[in-house]
Amino acid sequence: MAGGDARWRRFWVHVAIRLVAKRRYGAWADVPTLRRRQLRFDRRFARVDPQARRADVDCGGVPGEWIEVPETRADRVLLYLHGGAFMFRFPNTHAALAASWCRSLGARALLPDYRLAPEHRYPAAPEDCHAAYRWLLAQGVAPAGIVIAGDSAGGNLALATLHRIRAAGEPMPACAVLLSPAVDLTMSSPSLLANERSDPMFTYAAFGWIRGMYIAPERVLEPSASPLFGDFAGLPPLLFQAGGIEMLRDESVRAAAAAHRAGTTVELEIWEGMAHVFQAMPMLPQARAANASAVRFIGAHTGWSA
């Protein structure tokens, strides 16, 4: 696609996001109503690969979904932790993204249906994600055959799960991919203010509301809540991707720097002009390029390919 066409497509997508999403969160927001609206949006616009097979599964007490594609090999598992502000699900959107990676990697994906806030506040979500990883190990999947990934709140949970695995002395997965992760619930990243106007999706007040729905203030420094403050030594290779205009941009920058200081293999990609979790918008050529880079990173650290 020509550069001009790509820029215009990005522009109109960001306009649509701003009209639909900006300022939707706050003290006035009704979570059940938001969930119904977002599920309608997810059903209407997300397009899952028609060859993908989806099956419910019990991950040792945590419900979840298997995603398999024609190229799937049982010994290759993408443990994908969905985003959604710790409160929402976009089942088709995340199934579509996971399936597209699986097609390129010859893998299958497990998407845990972790407990959501505000009904189940922290630490319910990280407990469920860690339980899903332990369940995979108990099923005989080798740690080297597991890749952890997540977007936004799911990126938080992916990195938090790695910290929990390390603290428990359990074997690490092969690598991890973190898309626009929220890693610091103290809300001290400079881009939260610097990019508030350019971000088409969020406001600073919205992040404060989301945090309040998820966690008690006195617990935000715990590594399972704000994984930026965990120990990065001994973690597997990490790839961070973030959009240049999103408020969470510096969360990836700071976490990548912490991993580098700890001696962990890390890559950081800032996609200029892009918004939050743009990788889930397949109509954008930048999303396709970023997903190809994520697949490249996983393949480099696992040897997987279709």
Q: Which residues are catalytic?
A: 152, 246, 276
Angle 117-252-247 (CA atoms, 0-180°, nearest 5)? Answer: 65
Residues paired with 112 in a beta bridge: 64
Neighbours of 168 (CB within 10 A): 11
Report residue 245 as tokens: 């205009």
C-alpha 64, offset from chain centre: 16
Residue with tokens 């090999």, as numbered in its chain = 73
Instruction: Output Rg (C-alpha) for the chain, integer angstroms.
Output: 18
On the CB side of 55, how many CA atoms lie within 13 Å of its CA? 8
Closest CA to 125 of 171, 87, 182: 87
Report residue 248 as tokens: 């969470």
Closest CA to 155 of 173, 172, 177, 136: 177
